[in-house]
Each structure stands twice: as structure tokens, then as C-alpha cells.
A and B are shown apart, each in its own frame.
Chain A
Amino acid sequence: MIRAKINGISLRVPEGATILEAAEKVQIKIPVLCKHPDLPPTAACGICIVKLKGMNKMLRACCTPIEEGMEIITHDPEIVEVRRSVIELILSKHPNECLSCGRNRNCELQKLAGDFGINEQSFPQYLADIPADNSTKSLVLEPRKCISCGRCVHVCQQMQNVWALSFLERGFDTRISPAGDIQLADSPCVKCGQCSAHCPTGAIFEYDETGKVWELLQDENKYCIVQIAPAVRVAVGEWFGFKSGANTTRKLYAALRRMGFRAVFDTNFGADLTIVEEAHEFVHRFTKEPTKLPLITSCCPAWVDFMEKFYPDMVDHFSSCKSPHQMVGALSKTYYAQKQRLDPSKIVVVSIMPCTAKKHEISRDREMFASGHQDVDISLTTRELARMIKQAGIDFPNLPEEDADHMLGEYSGAGTIFGMTGGVMEAALRTAYDYVTGGKLKNVDFENVRGLQGVKEGTIPVGSHEVKVAVAHGLSNVEYVLNKVREAKKNDRVPPYHFIEVMACPGGCVGGGGQPYGVTDAVRNQRGDGLYEDDREHKIRYSHENPFVKKLYKEFLGEPRSEKVHHLLHTTYRPMPEYKR
């Protein structure tokens, strides 16, 4: 432990703690802008500067480790004045468009300016004239609003290992852009949206389609159906005063009905269905086609994109199951339409996802039009939904709870944990165990695939077999797992895993790129805890025991892995070896 003083307050902190972390321990808030609690410091903004007693120089609190005997001053008129000057300088290169910016009221720069009481412009504005990059239907890059904090670049390069974003030019002209100054759509970007979830301003923002949804909801000729993803329910509440992880599922159903959706479904139902298909697929490969092992999950569209680009040799190992919301979309326009005698061409399916990559997925290839129409018409992020609820004048916290619509709305405990890293694996193992052994698990909780460790490996006994699994989340962690598989295949050895789950975003969908801002590991865990609690509260905790899933197969699909199932619920992948690193 290290002893030091901050503003005269004595404290002891573990070795390596930064001044910023130490100050928090004694209730001192040093303002920061480029530092995100989820990321290592970039030291770019220069706002967290502090003084050491007796030293003329100022230090950055975010990245300076505290040393024995340090006497730190975090606030005095000189420090505050310098911070203020730096904020004003940053504002002089940032457009004053707060009122027409998507980040209005939750912009970190705006908040800082407010905290410092900046009410006049000391320096003239010099704005960069760089057009927005609208090339993807997932994310919009507005370099004009960028303050060069470097978070997105770190996220894209280090956390996600995608390297789509980098800094271009230097000095005053520094800007973010895909390397080579190409459009985002032409870059290796996988649309995971982690950049947008970490951006302090509106420089990277989800491709906003709320206006389009409002229009469709007003259209009497349209029959709007909505579905919500697992991780949305435990995060959206954060924008309405709930704690992270608070389960607002049934309030969401109610809110969506009030907004005008005619049927409210749950992507968790699609998750159950995915598990039935994927577990069958796994058991089939495990018992009959071991050369096609390991089986790799495919419900994360950013991961699919990443795999096609950087691991094209692994395509055969991918589960052919579509992601849950695509399944619900395809069934809404076939099964549900038939049952309700609806014209599928008039049905609009909106999915609420914690994700920006889903916006890309809904039209990624012709298999996303399996119903004969676009199966999912629009995908909104959790953040877009939260804004819509506010626009609709709904008092969300006090809203009476409602249930989802039947047929595609009921779910098991296994379906809901899809939203957390390890959840798909756990749900699939529960069902696969039943399929292989014909019996029930004593304990359905697979603790060793839970938690936020980047790569989780384990061996799960399934009857007389041992199933070797790996779970990776955050794309930079994929390399470790897949390189082991590549290595084994190259040397004609048996790959070290039977089943691999990958989620592109750290923590899985709870930490998705479309989730409310301010994600940290603590937040990811709280949201995950909410999902595990939802699981425990469900009587049915096996996907294949969901009575509506059973009914669906009986009434409409036939057997798992049947031709109809393949047409509606499965897809194929396209290797893109042109992307190389």
C-alpha cells in the first residue's frame, strides 16, 4: 500500500493506483473527458491535470500512478482556470449544435461545459469541414463533432481488434476515419458499435431510424410488430431512473403497445428456437460429423461479419442458425401471418436490439428475406427505443406491467440469458444434455461459462461424453481461441474444442454497442445479474420445453432441421478473404 495526501486528506491506496482512482476513494471528483472508466487512459484531453505540492508542472491524474508521500492538489484557482481554458479550446473546434444533436443532454462535453459554467465563447470557432460518413446503415461518423479523445480508435483497434478506425492527418487537422480515408462501409468495420457506445460526443452515432418507425406506426395500412432482445430489458431502465440490471420486460411490453405496435413479441422466444436448432445441430455434429467440430455460435452479427472477414477458413464451423430476431421476423411474416390471416406484405417487423450491427444484418443477404419479404424491417437500438418512449410521453417507471403476445412472445429462462456472455453456450448445453442423455441436469447453472473473463474454457460432462467448450467475448479475445483451432487443423490434430461461443462485444449483448452509455464491467455484471435472475424466476429453464416452441414445430415447422426450418431459420456465410491483416 502507498500512502499519500490529496487536498490534505491522507489516504492509502494499492500500488499502481492512479491519482484519479485515489481521488475517487476520498470523494474527490477530478473532471475527465477523454478517460472512460471502461478504457485505459489515452491522456489526450488534458483536463484531469493536478498539481504536486511544490512542483510547477501539472500532471495528468488519469495516467499518473500515485507514489509514496505524494501531496496532490486537485483543485485550486490556477488548475480550474487551466481546465476551463482547455474546455473552451475544445469547444472552439466543436460545433454549437447541441440542440440538434443526438447526444443532447447526454453528451460528456456538454456536461463538462455546463459544470464549468461556460456561458460565453472566448475563442473564435474553427470547424473542420468534413462531411458525415453515412455509408453504413448502422453507424454515422461525424468527424466535425469529434474531439479526438481517441476512445473509438482504442476500442476499434485494441478492444475489438478490427482496425477500421484510426487517426488521419496531424495537428489541428487530426480526424478519425477508416485508414486510407475510405468510407466506413468499405472498411473492415463490423458495425459492433462499441465506438458509438464509448464516444463522449455525437461524433459516432447509431444510424437513427426512430422517425421511420413513427411514420410506419401511423400508417393504417401497416401492421407493426415489435420484438425485444434479451439484453434490452435489463438496460433500458437506466435512462428512466432504474438501476443497471433492473428487469423492465413487462413495462417494455406495455410501453411498446402504447406506442402503437399491434403485436409485441420477444426475441427471447427466438432465442429458445435458436437453441433447439443449434442444440440439434451440435448433437448431430458431435455424434455423426465430428470433423465439422467445433461448432461456433452465429447469433452475433458483428461476430459473423468479423469471421467472414478475418477467419474465412472457419466458415464451415459456423452454426447455420439465424440469429433469434431474424427467426422471429421470418415467423412473424409466415406462421403468425397465416394464423392471424394477415397479409405479410403489410406486416412491419421492428426489432429492439442492444446492437448496431443488427441494423446491418437485417438486409445482409437474400436469406434475410426468407418469408418472401424482408423478415425484419427495421432494427432499433436500446438507446433509440429509450428516446422513443420519452417522445411518446410515457411515464415508464410507473407504467402498469403487461404480458407479451402469445405465439412468439413466451420464453424460457434459457432464452433470456442469451444476452450475457456464456449464455448461449449455457442454454445450448442444457438442451443438448437432454438430447444426448435423455435426462435432466441436476443443476442447470453452468457457472464456469459465466463471468467477464475474456476467454472461458471448460469441459462439461454430458452423459458419458465430455464436451470441451470455449467462450470468448470482445473480438480481441477471439484470436486466442480460433488460432488454437487453426493450429490443430493445420497439423491434422483434433481441435481442442467441441463448441465455441463468441460475442463481439465485451460482456456479450449486455455490453452491446447500442446499449445506454457509460458501460463498465460493473454495469455489464449488473445487467447480466438481471438476466440470470430472470432465468431463475422462470419455471421452464430449457429452451426445448417452451410450450410455444413445441407448438410451433407441431403446427408449422415440422421437425427440427427439416427443409422448411432450413429455409426459414438457417442461413449461409460468405468468406471474404480479401480482408487481410
Chain B
Amino acid sequence: MSTTPTIILIKDTRLAGVDTTRDVQNVFEKCLKEAGIESHVQAVRAADMGVYERGVVVKLLPQNVFYGNVKDEDVSLIVNKTLKKGELVEHLALRNLPSQVRVVLRNCGVINPESMEEYIQEKGYEGLRKCLLHLTPAQVIDEMKKSGLRGRGGAGFPTWMKWNLARSSVAEQKYVICNGDEGDPGAYMDRSVLEGDPHSVIEGMIIAGYAIGASKGFFYIRAEYPLAVERIHLAIKQAYEGGFLGQNILGTKFSFDLDVRLGAGAFVCGEETALMASIEGKRGTPRPRPPFPTQAGLWEKPTIINNVETLANVPVIFQRGGDWFSAIGTEKSKGTKVFAITGKVKNSGLVEIPMGITMREIVYGIGGGAADGKKVLAVQTGGPSGGVIPESHFDTPVSYEHLQELGSIMGSGGMIVMDEDDCMIDIVKFYLGFCVEESCGKCAPCRIGGYQMLKLLEKISEGNGTDQDVASIKRIAKAMQKASLCALGQTAPNPVLSTLRYFEDEYKQHIGDKKCRAGKCGKLLQYRIMPDKCKKCRLCQLKCPSNAVVGDKEKGYEVVQAKCVKCGVCYEVCKFEAVERI
């Protein structure tokens, strides 16, 4: 019988649906009791473990065993076989999980995020201790410079430089803001960190506050992340109790307070000046820079705004040294990057990879390629501000510079894989639609340009596009890139421009041939009844909502295209596969 103290981490990894973690936890507790080992085995609900869509996942520590798709009835098997006998339950075991370099996600899924003790056991707050007791603020910034860490929010601005600018601004009050307003569709890197390792972000903020001379910090977290908000609140409380926040931290003269502000879900509030306006209680719209936040930010005071992932890197840099950190990655892009791979890929989930590995390694190596043996067409990085990278460019290393060269951006880490079933026009419509919806409306190029461009794309996807429309799209795109006030408008045309660059043929097909290769653009579809297969059952005629199916039992039936609303009912109801979709 196993006597090792064991922790069982439980997480429901289904992306949608009910969270059954609690039920599984209860079953575990019952089984553990029955087995009489409840005193040294603890079953806890875990945060993100970097594994997705494997049903309920259970991880046993320190055995480091992963089980997926765990049902209630499997629990006793796990308890009896693995815990008591040390044997693997073969059919549940998850193998070949992505081999990643975990810096940011080092504690996610490993420690109980609601326990500061566990964080401290994992060398938590060691970096802070080192900074406060042994380094001057200038030395802290030097170490950051050595590490080469760049902002993980998307733009990649050197973190040390931002800190240094704020440090050299003279003011009585300065602020540190953690930008947790993650909003890219399909991205949940920051959420995982906030939920899975809240103390590392808090530690990063305190170190940042020490470096720039700030005494107050704010978390800005979107209200749609209730668990993250709850855990951050709890962690802040614990940090105060542990003496890591408040007056005279660790007995030094340095004092730092933290507070939480919730974002109401506006994507643009991730833009730093809009974010500050939102914290100040104003309409969340960007303002021109300069003055930069490091000169005059929140309430006109020098402010640094760092993304969650950036801050989570900071404690490690001081634990293990800037040199250690800068050994990971490429010449200009140091460290690791967390990506949320989703879309048409076999293994979707969070991955943390060292900078510089190729897109191919991520998509095929870690992601396992497209599901159902389909062909991967492209990857979208950087969310709605990024662009598509076609399969032909997959050997490019993933770094700030390389992605930009390809017309995309690193962004905050969204990575959506597209396969041959995806239509580029359709994808671009989605991303642009997102930006149009999320435009704050302040500046004309973004407010009107985005809308006009979206209408033109809709026109193309409906088969009414012309070459002139493509020229207009390019013209609007340029106006938006050059004349929009903030990055939202400046980058909103990226998906359009990158698809025009790599998938111009698809535009030509939609415009010239009125065809959508992937069959996604509904209005371009045609339904036809094949006379040789038709058994004249008349079902399609009965179901057609627009009376587009004409004919009789004698002559057979056909679809009148002018009347057809492309709903596809005929195609679906036909029992003889006599309706074709082209």
C-alpha cells in the first residue's frame, strides 16, 4: 500500500459544458475513505494543466501520472490500482503530452492556487526577497535588462525599458497596473495564469513597484473571469497576511498596496490608455501618446502597465537570474511564450514553448496536426490584430520579429489552426467583425473604415464582389493602419491584408468564379438535384421553405436557383444523396 503523501489534481478540460470537477472530487473522497488512505491523499480541484478536451483530467503528484476522460466509475480503479498498488490504469493514461518549457506556467496545475504556502514551497516570493533585501531598484532593472524580457501583451516592448522610463519620471505617486483584460477570441493564457498561479503575478507586480518606486498597484481583470478575480482577491489577502504586501514589506522601507478593478468586457480596454481611462471611471477610449503612461498615466501619474504573462515571468528571472532567462529563446526574443492553440488541431490547449522553435513544431509536433487527417492550411496568430501564416511559411521561427515579417504579430498568444475546410474570407470576416464590434468609435478611420471594409467582405462572400472592391479594401486598410489612433484600428486590417497576401486566389475565386472552395460562404453555394439518383420521393419539395423545388413525379424535380435561400434543408433530408451541394 502506498504511503507517499499524494495530491490528486482534478480538472474538467472540456471547453464547454458543465464542470463536473466537484462530483469527481466527492467520488474520490468517498473512495479514499473506503480505501482508508484519506489521511495522506488529498483530492483538489485544480486550475489549468495545459491539457484540453480530454474530459475530466486527473493528475497524481508526485507520481506525475496523467489520466484523461475520467468517469465516476473509474475513480475506484485509480485509487485501488495506482494509489494502492502503484500500477498504471492503461486505458486512462495520457501519454505524449506536449513537451514544453514551463516558465510562466511552472506552477499551473502543479500547486494549489489557493494556497500561498504551496507557492512559497515552489520558491515563491524568493525573487521578491532577493530584490528587496539585496538589490537596489536600479539593479532590479539591470537584471531585467539582462533577461531581455519583452512585453507579452503583443507589442513586445522591452520590459526593463518601460520600467526604467517610469523609474526616471519624478513623481510622488506612481502606479503599477497588471493588464488582465485578455480579450482575443480563443485566447486564455492570462486566465490560466491568474487562476493557476495568482501569487506569481502578484510577486511580479511588487517587484515592478519596487523597481519604479510605486506604492500602489491595480489588477485590471475582465469581469468575465470570475474565478481569476476570486483567486486574485484571495491571493492578495494572503500576501497581505504573509507580509508581502502593505507597509514595510519584509521589514524594508518599501510599502506596496494592491487593488483589483474589473473590466466590463470592452476589448479596447486592453489598450493601455483606454484601460487607464476605464480605471479612472471614464469612457474606455484611447488617448493620444505622448505623453506615455510612464510619464503621465493613471490620474496623470507615471504608470507602468504590464501584461499578466510578462509579470509572471518576473519572479523566475530573480529566482534564477537574468542570464538563465536570456539563455532561452532567440537573439531578440528571449524566454518562452505561452500560446493557446485551438481550431482544427488534434491537441488543442495551452502550450509554453521556448521562443525560436518553428511554427511547424508547434502545429504538428505539439498540436499533432489537423484532426481527421485533413490538411492544415494556415495558422492565425495575434488574434484579430494578427494575420494568417500559411503552411508554406511554417518553418519560420516563432519570435516577435519573424512573425511581423510575415505580416502577423506575436500578439498575446492566440493561435488558431485552420484546415482545408476553412474559407479565408469567412475567417477574415469573423476577425474584422470582432474589431468592428469592439471599436470604441473614437477615431474615424477605425470607426468607419472597419465597417466599410466588413461590408465589402460580405459583398465578396455573397458573390457580388468586384476587383474594385479589393482595391477599396486595400485603400481603407491603409487609411486604418496609418491614421487610426490606437493599435486596435491600426492592426484591424492585418487579417485582411495577410490573406490578400497569401490567399489572393481565394478572393479571386469568390469574385471571379463565384465559388467558395470550403463551402463556407453560404450564398455562393448551389443545391442541385441529380436526376439519376433522385427517387422522386418529393421530400425535398415538401421541406423547402421557399418553394424553390419544382417539378412532379413524372418529370422529376429541380431547384430553381433564383428562389433558393441556400438553407440546405433539401440536402439534409434527402435519403438517397441525390441533392448535391456545389
Any B CB within 8 A of the CB of A552: no
Choice from B290, B447, B483 contacting A174 with Cβ under 8 Å: B447
- Contact yes or no, A64 B443, CB < 8 A: no
Q: Which B residues lie within 8 Å of A14 (CB)?
A: none
Please give me the residue from chain A that is nearest to B484 by CB atom: A46
- Decide: A46 near B440, CB < 8 A? Known: A65-B290, A82-B478, A89-B449: no
- A 289-318 contacts with B by CB, 8 A: none
Interface-lining segment among B221-229, B254-262, B431-439: B431-439
Q: How far is the CA of A89 from the CA of B455 in the complex (A)?
A: 13
Please give me the residue from chain B that is nearest to A89 by CB atom: B448
- Contact yes or no, A92 B452, CB < 8 A: yes
- Contact yes or no, A85 B439, CB < 8 A: no
Q: How far is the CA of A305 from the CA of B176 in the complex (A)?
A: 43
- Contact yes or no, B290 A89, CB < 8 A: no
Any B CB within 8 A of the CB of A122: yes
Q: How far is the CA of A82 from the CA of B475 in the complex (A)?
A: 8
Q: Which B residues lie within 8 Å of A43 (CB)?
A: 287-288, 442-443, 485
Q: How far is the CA of A124 from the CA of B440 in the complex (A)?
A: 22
Any B CB within 8 A of the CB of A70: no
Any A CB within 8 A of the CB of B15: no
Choice from B266, B437, B445 contacting A89 with Cβ under 8 Å: B445
- B 472-531 contacts with A by CB, 8 A: 472, 475-476, 478-479, 482-485
- Contact yes or no, A49 B482, CB < 8 A: yes
Q: How far is the CA of A45 from the CA of B448 in the complex (A)?
A: 11
- Contact yes or no, A85 B447, CB < 8 A: no
- Contact yes or no, A123 B452, CB < 8 A: yes
CB of A39, distance to nearest CB on chain B (Å) = 14
Q: How far is the CA of A358 from the CA of B482 in the complex (A)?
A: 45
Q: Which B residues lie within 8 Å of A58 (CB)?
A: 482-483
- Decide: A47 near B448, CB < 8 A? Known: A64-B290, A89-B476, A150-B442: no
Q: Which A residues lie within 8 Å of B483 (CB)?
A: 46-47, 49, 58, 82-83, 85-86
- Contact yes or no, B441 A46, CB < 8 A: no
- Contact yes or no, B266 A44, CB < 8 A: no
Please give me the residue from chain B that is nearest to A171 by CB atom: B439
- Contact yes or no, B439 A172, CB < 8 A: yes
Any B CB within 8 A of the CB of A492: no
Q: How far is the CA of A42 from the CA of B485 in the complex (A)?
A: 10
Any B CB within 8 A of the CB of A90: yes
CB of B465, distance to nearest CB on chain A (Å) = 13
Q: Which A residues lie within 8 Å of B266 (CB)?
A: 170
Q: How far is the CA of A281 from the CA of B526 in the complex (A)?
A: 87
- Decide: A172 near B441, CB < 8 A? Known: A89-B452, A93-B448: yes
Q: How far is the CA of A315 from the CA of B106 in the complex (A)?
A: 67
Size category of the binding interface on chain A: 35 or more
- Contact yes or no, B441 A148, CB < 8 A: yes
CB of A180, distance to nearest CB on chain B (Å) = 14
CB of B451, distance to nearest CB on chain A (Å) = 4
CB of A108, distance to nearest CB on chain B (Å) = 14
Any A CB within 8 A of the CB of B374: no
Q: Which A residues lie within 8 Å of B443 (CB)?
A: 43-46
Q: Which B residues lie within 8 Å of A173 (CB)?
A: 441
- A 43-63 contacts with B by CB, 8 A: 43-47, 49, 57-58, 60, 63
Any A CB within 8 A of the CB of B22: no
Q: Which B residues lie within 8 Å of A116 (CB)?
A: none
CB of A387, distance to nearest CB on chain B (Å) = 29
- Contact yes or no, B436 A172, CB < 8 A: yes
Choice from A57, A123, A126, A174 contacting B441 with Cβ under 8 Å: A174
CB of A480, distance to nearest CB on chain B (Å) = 20
Please give me the residue from chain A that is nearest to B435 by CB atom: A171
- B 445-466 contacts with A by CB, 8 A: 445, 447-452, 455
- Contact yes or no, B283 A167, CB < 8 A: yes
CB of A148, distance to nearest CB on chain B (Å) = 6
Size category of the binding interface on chain B: 20 to 34
Please give me the residue from chain B that is nearest to A63 by CB atom: B288
- Contact yes or no, B441 A169, CB < 8 A: yes
CB of B154, distance to nearest CB on chain A (Å) = 16
Any B CB within 8 A of the CB of A41: yes
- Contact yes or no, A171 B447, CB < 8 A: yes
Q: Which B residues lie within 8 Å of A81 (CB)?
A: 475, 478
Q: Which A residues lie within 8 Å of B455 (CB)?
A: 124, 126
Choice from A45, A57, A65, A170 contacting B444 with Cβ under 8 Å: A45
- Contact yes or no, A46 B478, CB < 8 A: no
CB of B129, distance to nearest CB on chain A (Å) = 41
Please give me the residue from chain A that is nearest to B479 by CB atom: A85
- Contact yes or no, B479 A60, CB < 8 A: no
- Decide: A60 near B478, CB < 8 A? Known: A44-B442, A46-B484, A82-B483: no
Please give me the residue from chain B that is nearest to A34 by CB atom: B444
- Contact yes or no, A60 B485, CB < 8 A: yes
- Contact yes or no, B452 A46, CB < 8 A: no
- Contact yes or no, A172 B485, CB < 8 A: no
Q: Which A residues lie within 8 Å of B439 (CB)?
A: 170-172
Q: Which B residues lie within 8 Å of A47 (CB)?
A: 444, 483
- Decide: A90 near B290, CB < 8 A? Known: A58-B483, A85-B475, A123-B472: no
- Contact yes or no, B482 A172, CB < 8 A: no
Any B CB within 8 A of the CB of A147: yes
CB of A74, distance to nearest CB on chain B (Å) = 14
Q: How far is the CA of A60 from the CA of B449 in the complex (A)?
A: 18
- Contact yes or no, B482 A82, CB < 8 A: yes
- Contact yes or no, B288 A64, CB < 8 A: yes
CB of B448, distance to nearest CB on chain A (Å) = 4
Choice from B283, B288, B478, B485 contacting A85 with Cβ under 8 Å: B478
Q: Which A residues lie within 8 Å of B452 (CB)?
A: 89, 92, 123-124, 126
CB of B156, distance to nearest CB on chain A (Å) = 15
- B 148-188 contacts with A by CB, 8 A: none
- Contact yes or no, B290 A46, CB < 8 A: no
Q: How far is the CA of A550 from the CA of B369 in the complex (A)?
A: 98
Of all A-B residue pairs in the complex, the 10 with the closest CB atoms, nearest first, are: A174-B441, A46-B483, A85-B479, A171-B439, A43-B288, A63-B288, A89-B448, A172-B451, A58-B482, A171-B441
Given A49-B482, A57-B482, A123-B472: 11 more A-B contacts, CB < 8 Å: A42-B442, A43-B287, A45-B444, A81-B475, A82-B478, A89-B444, A89-B476, A90-B448, A123-B476, A124-B452, A147-B444
Supply 11 A–B pairs (Cβ within 8 Å), ascending by A.
A49-B483, A82-B479, A82-B482, A85-B479, A86-B445, A90-B444, A124-B455, A126-B451, A170-B439, A172-B448, A174-B440
